[in-house]
């Protein structure tokens, strides 16, 4: 069972996001990147599958910002193989990224590709769905559980709907799966273990020229939502804030 | 320009999803303003009786097959991509839902047409569909224009009002054969797993103290529990808390969790990503506490406090205690 996990680097939302001078994209000069949270769940799910059924887990990153730490962390968590693809990928769309991933996968021998169900910057939709369509293999997203039958090469995927409802979809391998959340929260690895991985694990390097086809739309404007929106902001010391909140609750008949 | 919009209807267990009406309402408004046609596309099995609720559309294309009874991506993709290729509508509206997230990007890839996700607003200007997408956890908006051919817009739940699309009356019905080839599909729907009832039904709670990532540790949930008790409410949460196993999934608000409409929703350390907001934005009173002044939650909250929840929670609990004694 060979599993590929796609780890995408996305802007860290804890940092202030800046918009470029002509207002058509983010300014990425000082951007800090972190792995997309859903992809970390995809990695955890891959490692859980490996622990249950054996096989290998390959973690793949396009070089966007600093990715080696992301890959070494994946190794410390249990990934067996690390791949970094070099190229001009900053701001790449999920559509164009899917083509790069598809190319790698065609040259590999993977039974299952796991990726996050979406990333917060996917203007062109989830990369997993695009990748599977390019490879003409099955895709199921919004998945938070699975049961693999290695004998038959079939995977039963638990797909989420509102209100906690799940459907089970039986899918033949190879397939791409968009992970909403792993069965268990992504495991914690101590820094020492990551440091150790950075010494022992090797990162396989590939290069790719991303295609940049015309997207079929034009970006007219990139902007931040109106400042503060509609909330009336309550300032003051915690006691003053508490007093004001209780009086608001009282006006709404929520406290006696 | 005369517009032509396809709305991909969603239904689950025999009921049309609100998402369908939200999209139909917006499509109807654009067609009324600019002239043109709204077509609902309903794929399923034994779903013809749902047609009478789709009066907001001018036309309905009904595709029925046993393989479409419940959603599985491949068969749905197959029939809908064939239909779009043949009819070439200007815009196809798909929900940013469990079904739509599997469908829209796959359709766009197969058909080689542009697709824009996380759409929160839609208009028609100078022969172009103008799509506003809400990205980066709700922190950045992107306005794009699609001028030629077919485009797919993936609409965020709650972006438009369901009431605007809820019109009785059956649109002109066209039934088309699915022409599915089961042997081509390498997946199929197997069964539903119904949620187990939780200890508390948060959809019925009048007051929700809802915690997000800002709560930091599992131990701190007890602080929220205490505050909820002082307010006579229950504790709910955003997705990351459930993913960490700090609270059961029955307490989760938002996409794939519950939609709630309490009298008070007190959001503590919740940033307000679109996936969360869709489940709580209709609460009567929303109060948000977050250290980040740019947190999107402040654009849906009625009152906001830019502060550390660990300062506000005890002060609030104390104040509530004083009133009782």
Longest dimension (CA), chain A: 68
Q: What is the DSSP string of A101-151?
A: HHHHHHHS--SEEEEES--TT-TT--HHHHHHHHHT--EEEEEEEEEEETT
B297/B270 same-domain check: yes
To the nearest whole percent, how much of chain B has pLDDT over 90?
87
**pLDDT tops 50 at residue B107:** yes
Q: Decide: B310 and B291 in contact? Cβ < 8 Å.
A: no
B244/B141 same-domain check: no
8 Å CB contact of B144 and A123: yes
Q: What is the mean pLDDT of chain A?
A: 94
pLDDT of residue B255: 86
B164/B230 same-domain check: no
Q: How many domains does chain A have?
A: 1
**pLDDT tops 70 at residue B325:** no
Our measurement of the distance from residue A20's CA atom to the centroid of its chain's CA atoms, rounded to an integer in Å, reads: 24
Domain that holds residue A44: 2-207
Q: Where are the alpha helices (DSSP H) in B42-197?
A: 73-87, 98-111
Which of B10, B13, B75, B98 would you mutate first to test chain A, the one with the most A CBs within 10 A?
A: B98
Which CATH number covers residue A145? 3.40.50.620
Mark which residues 159-178 of A lie under 8 Å from B by CB.
Answer: 159-172, 175, 178
B215/B162 same-domain check: no
For the segment B275-286, the average pLDDT, to the nearest whole number, is 94
Q: Which of A214-218, B136-140, B244-248 has the lowest mean pLDDT?
A: A214-218
pLDDT confidence band for A160 (50 / 70 / 90): very high
Which CATH number covers residue B145? 3.40.50.620
Strand runs labelled E in B67-171: 91-95, 115-125, 128-135, 140-146, 151-155
B38/B180 same-domain check: yes
B131/B239 same-domain check: no
Does the residue A65 lie in any domain?
yes
Tell me, yes or no, if B123 comes closer than 8 A to chain A by beta carbon. no
Tell me, yes or no, if B148 comes closer than 8 A to chain A by beta carbon. yes
Does the residue B288 lie in any domain?
yes
Q: How many domains does chain B have?
A: 2
pLDDT of residue A229: 59
Domain that holds residue B242: 202-324
Q: Which of A156, A216, A249 sits opposite B264 (nearest CB)?
A: A249
Q: Which residue of A has its CA nearest to B194?
A: A165
Phi, psi angles (nearest 5°) of residue A134: -70, -40
């Amino acid at each position: 069972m060979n599993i590929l996990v796609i780890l995408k680097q996305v802007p860290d939302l804890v940092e202030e996001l800046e918009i470029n001078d002509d207002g058509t994209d983010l300014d990425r000069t000082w951007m800090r990147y972190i792995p997309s949270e859903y992809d970390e769940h995809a990695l955890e799910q891959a490692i859980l599958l490996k622990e249950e059924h054996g096989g290998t887990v390959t973690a793949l990153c396009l070089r966007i910002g600093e990715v080696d730490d992301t890959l070494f962390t994946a190794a410390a968590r249990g990934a067996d193989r690390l791949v970094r693809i070099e190229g001009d990928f900053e701001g790449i769309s999920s559509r164009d990224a899917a083509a790069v991933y598809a190319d790698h996968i065609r040259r590999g021998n993977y039974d299952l590709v796991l990726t996050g169900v979406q990333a917060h910057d996917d203007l062109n939709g989830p990369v997993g769905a695009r990748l599977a369509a390019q490879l003409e293999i099955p895709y199921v997203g919004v998945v938070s559980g699975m049961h693999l039958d290695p004998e038959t090469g079939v995977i039963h995927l638990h797909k989420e709907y509102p209100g906690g409802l799940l459907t089970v979809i039986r899918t033949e391998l190879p397939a791409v799966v968009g992970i909403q959340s792993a069965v268990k929260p992504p495991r914690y690895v101590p820094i020492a273990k990551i440091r150790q991985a950075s010494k022992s694990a090797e990162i396989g390097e590939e290069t790719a020229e991303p295609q940049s086809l015309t997207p079929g739309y034009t970006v007219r404007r990139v902007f931040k939502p109106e400042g503060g929106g509609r909330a009336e902001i309550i300032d003051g010391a915690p006691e003053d804030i508490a007093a004001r909140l209780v009086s608001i609750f009282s006006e709404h008949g929520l406290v006696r | 320009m005369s517009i032509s919009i396809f709305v991909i209807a969603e239904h689950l267990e025999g009921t049309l999803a609100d998402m369908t009406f939200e999209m139909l309402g917006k499509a109807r408004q654009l067609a009324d303003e600019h002239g043109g046609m709204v077509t609902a596309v309903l794929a399923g099995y034994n779903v013809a009786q749902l047609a009478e609720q789709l009066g907001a559309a001018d036309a309905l294309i009904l595709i029925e097959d046993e393989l479409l009874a419940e959603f599985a991506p491949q068969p749905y993709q197959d029939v809908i991509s064939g239909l779009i290729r043949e009819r070439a509508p200007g815009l196809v509206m798909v929900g940013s839902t469990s079904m739509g997230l599997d469908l829209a990007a796959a359709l766009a890839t197969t058909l080689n047409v542009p697709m824009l996700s996380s759409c929160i607003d839609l208009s028609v200007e100078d022969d172009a569909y103008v799509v506003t997408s809400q990205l980066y956890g709700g922190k950045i908006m992107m306005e794009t224009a699609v001028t030629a051919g077919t485009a797919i817009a993936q609409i965020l739940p709650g972006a438009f009002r369901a009431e605007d699309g809820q019109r009785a009356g059956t649109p002109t019905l066209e039934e088309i054969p699915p022409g599915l080839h089961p042997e081509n599909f390498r997946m199929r729907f197997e069964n539903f797993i119904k949620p187990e009832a939780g200890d508390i039904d948060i959809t019925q709670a009048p007051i929700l103290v809802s915690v997000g990532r800002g709560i930091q540790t599992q131990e701190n949930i007890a602080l929220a529990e205490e505050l909820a008790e002082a307010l006579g409410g229950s504790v709910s949460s955003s997705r990351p808390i459930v993913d960490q196993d700090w609270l059961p999934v029955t307490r989760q608000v938002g996409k794939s969790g519950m939609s709630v409409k309490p009298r008070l929703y007190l959001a503590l350390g919740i940033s307000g990503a679109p996936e969360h907001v869709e489940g709580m934005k209709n609460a009567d009173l929303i109060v948000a506490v977050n250290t980040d002044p740019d947190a999107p939650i402040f654009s849906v909250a009625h009152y906001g406090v830019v502060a550390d929840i660990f300062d506000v929670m005890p002060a609030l609990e104390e104040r509530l205690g004083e009133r009782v004694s």
